[in-house]
């Protein structure tokens, strides 16, 4: 009862009113309206329904309002009324299989269910000392991730990719084949055309029936796109508190940052790094830290990050990479070679890999990475026929096993995998690689190869 009373205290309107004084670009300034930052107001429009707006700051004695809809019909003197002082959303198991917008409104044609529980959009992350350790792997259904970049239950990873390299298809595979109980998928800033394509082609009925999809397309106001990320995280937190294992997929975190940049600049923040105001870099950790494990359940999160010009060191990418527990790089070069998933294994890392996989998988992973690295380092010589066989036993092995390695790294959309299948196939592949050659006398074996033969743990 006390929880419900505290929620009522936050959301009850207090009868506060004001009026519009002027508009500044996408922002309206209201006089006589001392509402708190984050409050939701309604602006009266001429010959149209009221438009909702959020308080984003104050300037020159006026309250700045960012609309959640069109400003057409707003004029000087338009009445502003406080609607809510806190943002809440209805939650429940009835959300599964449904598509909603950032405000929790239904976007599909199914009957509207009754949601009796409500949660705030903005919650604090679980306290650091109350977070259980990540100790078990989560199956994503993608062989190269489950085998070489194993993700733990409660881990947070970024998928760094440019446009058109198979990111949406990869996320759809994860949603369909994951071992998680519930999927929460946020499509932020997507083209309207791509939403149905993702739902019908990439996610499919199998993935949708255990998923909640939150949609905010690119034509919607920046505030709606930011709120969609908050809504998705709040829904994931609800299912986590029910003791479930949740897979949170957010596509994309970059568009969330760009939307917050619009809001911050409109509120008068100074642009700093490449035009991003300080609020962007303050909101990113507050958002991603809400994922993870607590004493009830877990949120395993995959955040896609759009890299500008395939530059993984641009400000948002660089910041996110430091916040997350690993990153998966999608390569445009591999995508151009019809290599799916186009994951650059050598450029990707799971920071918890060594904590959640057995020693034999670690040794096999290191063997495969050594071979991939050796081939990449000598690829130019190999392609022009300048490499002399026998010059380097590791390169010889990489060349001999090239087709087998590529077969493991590639996977069709219909091919379902798991952590167990990926691990078994990886160990068998590493053993087959070792059996493909006999090292010359006096030539040192790769470190991981020696360890895999002994069945021990790789050095380093």
% pLDDT > 90, the chain: 58
At residue 451, does pLDDT exceed 60? no
> Would you call 454 exposed, middle or buried from its count of C-beta atoms within 10 A (0-12, 13-18, 19+)?
exposed
Q: Answer whether CATH 1.25.40.20 is correct for domain 361-436.
A: no
- Say whether pLDDT at 457 is over 60: no
CATH 3.40.50.12240 fits 89-355, yes or no: yes
For the chain, residues classed under CATH 1.20.1270.330 are 361-436
Please check whether residue 235 is in contact with residue 99, taking contact to mean a CB–CB distance below 8 angstroms: no
Please say whether the beta carbons of 156 and 324 come within 8 A. yes
pLDDT for position 439: 52
Sequence ranges of the chain with CATH classification 3.40.50.12240: 89-355
Angle at 106 between CA 102 and CA 107, to 5 degrees: 90
Kindly report the three-state secondary structure assignment for every residue of 60-90: CCEEEEEECCCCCCCCCCCEEEEEECCCEEE
Q: Where along the chain do the CATH 2.40.10.170 domains lie?
A: 13-86
Residues with Cβ < 8 Å from 320, sequence gap 6 or more? 158, 253, 284, 288, 303, 305
To the question of domain 13-86 being in CATH 3.90.1510.10, the answer is no
Residue 108 pLDDT more than 60?
A: yes
CA angle at 335 for the pair 331 and 336, rounded to the nearest 5°: 115
pLDDT one-digit tens code per residue, 39-55 = 999 999 887 889 999 99
Instruction: Answer yes or no: pTM beyond 0.85.
Output: yes
Q: Give the strand pairing for 298-306 and 156-161.
A: parallel
Reported as a single tens digit per residue, the pLDDT across 189-199 is 888 888 888 88
Can you give the pLDDT at residue 12? 47
């Amino acid at each position: 009862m006390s929880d419900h009373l505290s929620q009522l205290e936050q959301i009850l309107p207090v009868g506060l009113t004001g009026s519009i004084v002027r508009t500044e670009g996408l922002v309206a300034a209201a006089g006589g309206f001392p509402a708190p930052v984050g409050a939701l107001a309604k602006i009266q429009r001429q010959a149209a329904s009221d438009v909702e707006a959020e308080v984003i700051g104050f300037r020159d004695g006026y309250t700045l309002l960012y609309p959640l809809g069109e400003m057409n019909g707003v004029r000087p003197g338009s009445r502003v009324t406080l609607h809510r002082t806190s943002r809440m959303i209805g939650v429940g198991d009835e959300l599964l299989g449904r598509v909603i917008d950032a405000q929790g409104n239904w976007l599909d044609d199914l009957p509207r269910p009754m949601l009796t529980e409500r949660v705030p959009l903005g919650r604090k992350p679980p306290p650091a000392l109350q977070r259980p350790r990540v100790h078990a792997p989560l199956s994503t259904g993608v062989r190269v991730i489950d085998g070489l970049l194993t993700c733990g239950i409660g881990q947070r990873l970024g998928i760094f990719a440019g446009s058109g390299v198979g990111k949406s298809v990869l996320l759809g595979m994860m949603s369909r084949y994951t071992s998680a109980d519930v999927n929460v998928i946020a499509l932020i800033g997507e083209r309207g055309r791509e939403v149905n394509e993702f739902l019908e082609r990439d996610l499919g009925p199998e993935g949708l029936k255990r998923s909640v999809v939150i949609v905010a397309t690119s034509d919607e106001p920046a505030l709606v796109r930011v709120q969609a990320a908050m809504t998705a995280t709040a829904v994931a937190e609800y299912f986590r508190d029910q003791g479930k294992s949740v897979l949170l997929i957010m596509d994309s975190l970059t568009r969330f940052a760009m939307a917050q940049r619009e809001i911050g600049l409109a509120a008068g923040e100074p642009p700093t790094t490449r035009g991003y105001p300080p609020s962007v870099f303050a909101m990113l950790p507050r958002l991603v830290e809400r994922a993870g494990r607590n004493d009830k359940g877990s949120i395993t999160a995959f955040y896609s990050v759009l890299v500008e010009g395939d530059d993984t060191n641009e400000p948002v990418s660089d910041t996110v990479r430091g916040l997350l527990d690993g990153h998966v790089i999608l390569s445009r070069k591999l995508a151009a070679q019809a290599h799916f998933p186009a994951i650059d294994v050598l450029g990707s890392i799971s920071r918890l890999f060594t904590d959640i996989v057995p020693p034999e998988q670690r040794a096999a992973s290191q063997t495969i990475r050594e071979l991939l690295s050796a081939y990449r380092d000598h690829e130019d010589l190999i392609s022009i026929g300048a490499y002399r066989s026998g010059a380097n036993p590791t390169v010889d092995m990489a060349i001999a096993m090239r087709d087998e390695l590529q077969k493991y790294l590639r996977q069709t959309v219909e091919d379902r995998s798991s952590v167990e299948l990926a691990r078994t196939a990886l160990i068998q592949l590493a053993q087959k690689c070792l059996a493909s050659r006999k090292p010359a006398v006096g030539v040192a074996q790769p470190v991981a190869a020696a360890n895999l033969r002994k069945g021990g743990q790789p050095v380093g």
